[in-house]
A and B are shown apart, each in its own frame.
Chain A
Amino acid sequence: MEAEAVVEATDLEKAYGETVALSGASLSVAGGEVFALIGPNGAGKTTLVRALTGTTDPDSGSARVLGDAPAAIDRDRLGVLPQEFSPPDRLSARELLSYYAGLYDDPRDPDAVLADVGLADTGDTWYEDLSGGQQRRVCVGSTLVNDPDVLFLDEPTTGIDPAGRRTVWRLIEDLAAGGTTVVLTTHDMAEAERLADRVGLLADGSLVARGTPDELVRDHGGSSRLTVETAADLDAFADLEFPVGRPERGRLQGRTSESAVVVRDIAPAEIGTVVDYLEDRGLEYTGLSWAEPDLEDVYLALADRTELERTDSGGGEAADEAGADDITHAGETA
């Protein structure tokens, strides 16, 4: 039996003038679940978060959080980190958390929150003097002062260095383990893959795919990928007929360097066959890497498909350009 939904959206629509931000977006997030929203810039992620937290009014559709309409949510149970949030900058990190804690009836100790976000040693530093990553961690901390039951984080780790990002990730994992429901948006596929129980891909205001990261990869990620990096002219690779796998053709993929050839459907044991094949033809390569499909492949496949559909309906120039290229050159995005 499916767990009871804590966050629900049904057919949300929102337009700003001619620009459609949400076009029938629906989702359901169960209690204690971490749900990651991914999607290109302008896909509607922030608008969806705003519609769920009551900071924008959708044109139609409905949303419920903790059983209430967004405008009626018990705010003591809610934590929200807006995108591009900039709190008062001449307060220290500790003062900022104390300030936000002061807005709630039963807040946590600000020093404990500082420690949670890994800033126990910088509590007395003014916000404006913190690094960009430290600032973002203070902002994340500001959402935790009331020990919320539901947490909305709009790009929580933007600008945070890898170590700080892992601190925030561990924090979110701990919160989820403690029963907090988390909805986050991110452009970092590794973040979504690590944190999310389920992922929803938003494109053009609609959720075009959702599921666990494994389900999405299985259904939309394609096959394994061998990337052959070369300093040579890519034209030399254009007409190759590899003995195993298939060179990726058609739509361009933005993955690694600008001088790489991608071969799909290849098992690790078959890599040697490709190496021999290249060497037999005197083709020099500078690196080989093999990878299973991951969430980034899903993102690129679905986001590209949506982009293609959009441009097709607008004349199809991008599709024509992609089709004109008969081999996939990683790094050259359409």
Chain B
Amino acid sequence: MSRLRRIRAETSAGWRSFVRRRTAVFFTFFFPVILIVIFGALVRTDPTGEGLFTEPPAYYVPAYLAVVVLFTPLSRMGSEVARHREGNRFEKLATTPVTRGEWLLAQTLVNAVIIGLASVLILALVVVLTGAEIAFSPWLVPYILVGVVCFCGIGAMLGSYTDSQDGAIAASNAIGLPLLFLSETFISLEQLPGWFEPLVNVSPLTYFARGVRAATFPEAGTADVAGLEPAVANFAILAVLAVIAFGLGARSIPRTD
């Protein structure tokens, strides 16, 4: 009960702090919306033609979701950790019963709610604006949750190893942007040089994209992994990576100076 109480207190404070920053709330939701408008409605996909966006609209659903599942935790966690460090909040928390894992879990829950809401908005806009025909699979929920856990862990590491909020945000952009485009999200593996495949395979976002695509757009023909259905197998891989990232992220949070 003590642990639950501490996590509840942290989550409640984190949620209130977020919703009271109107600019942050606005841009958290506006960023994916503008991407959908640009890529889905203005550029449009062209399943029969040439260029980058040659797949049907439903193919890109994991990419639009990845915008929030990847970027929001990276930038929010990075800057939150940096803000906590700069305000000596970790020094204070280190002298209370709350653990680093509990703190990160609470922040992850806040991110999960934000990203869950943003994902609903994204799915609705993708269907309305691009005419994507997607399957609303229950797999979406665990994929988004585990994706958030994974990238919150990585975001915590970014915040811990950079020396300022600005540095954390710059690092999250520098890491997030390549990951977003090179993890079988907007650009398929066939469109990349062959030597790039190992890099694609080490990106956690790749397994998110493959799994979500398998669940929401079965026609994409996502490959099985070791004889397992792609939605199950990619989820398992993503979950393992999420546990590792969360553990390392929690461990990276400063306890001492």
Contact = CB atoms under 8 A, between A and B. Distances in A.
Interface of A: 50, 53-57, 75-76, 78-88, 90-91, 95-96, 98-105, 126, 142, 146, 152
A95 B257 contact: no
B48 interface: no
B87 A87 contact: yes
User: Which 7 pairs show the lowest CB-CB distances between chains A and B?
Assistant: A102-B9, A86-B87, A80-B95, A90-B20, A99-B13, A82-B88, A82-B91
B97 A104 contact: yes
Nearest to B16: A91
Nearest to A16: B257
B256 A54 contact: yes
B257 A99 contact: no
B234 to A, nearest CB: 37
A88 B257 contact: no
A245 to B, nearest CB: 48
Contacts of B16: 90-91, 95
A55 B94 contact: yes
Interface string B1-14: 01001101110110
A79 B94 CA distance: 11
Contact of B256 (A56, A76, A101): A56
Most buried by A among B2, B9, B21: B9
A85 B2 contact: no
Contact of B88 (A83, A95, A100): A83
A81 B96 CA distance: 11
Given A50-B257, A56-B256, A95-B16, A103 B87 contact: no
Interface residues of B, number: 27
Contacts of A50: 91, 256-257
A78 B95 contact: yes
Interface in B1-50: 2, 5-6, 8-10, 12-13, 16-17, 20-21
The CB with the most chain A CB atoms within 10 A, among B9, B87, B88, B98, is that of B88
Given A50-B256, A54-B256, A102-B5, A90 B17 contact: yes
A96 B88 CA distance: 15
B110 to A, nearest CB: 12
Contacts of B92: 80-82, 85, 87, 142
A151 to B, nearest CB: 11
20 contacts: A50-B257, A54-B94, A54-B95, A55-B95, A55-B255, A55-B256, A75-B96, A78-B95, A80-B91, A80-B92, A83-B88, A84-B87, A84-B88, A86-B86, A86-B87, A96-B13, A102-B8, A103-B97, A104-B97, A126-B20
Contacts of A84: 87-88
Nearest to B20: A90
A107 to B, nearest CB: 9
B5 A88 contact: no
A64 to B, nearest CB: 16
Interface in B55-114: 86-89, 91-98
Contacts of A90: 16-17, 20-21
A3 B105 CA distance: 43
A149 to B, nearest CB: 13
A245 B21 CA distance: 65
A83 B257 CA distance: 13
B95 A75 contact: yes
A71 to B, nearest CB: 9
Interface string B187-222: 000000000000000000000000000000000000
Contacts of A126: 20
Contacts of B257: 50, 55-56
A53 B93 CA distance: 11
A320 B203 CA distance: 66
A53 B95 contact: yes
Contacts of A56: 256-257
Contact of A55 (B9, B17, B21, B91): B91
Contacts of B255: 55
B95 A85 contact: no
A147 B247 CA distance: 32
B94 A95 contact: no
A38 to B, nearest CB: 21
Given A91-B17, A105-B97, 18 more contacts: A50-B257, A53-B95, A55-B91, A55-B94, A55-B256, A56-B256, A75-B97, A82-B88, A83-B88, A85-B87, A85-B89, A86-B89, A88-B13, A88-B89, A102-B5, A102-B6, A103-B97, A126-B20
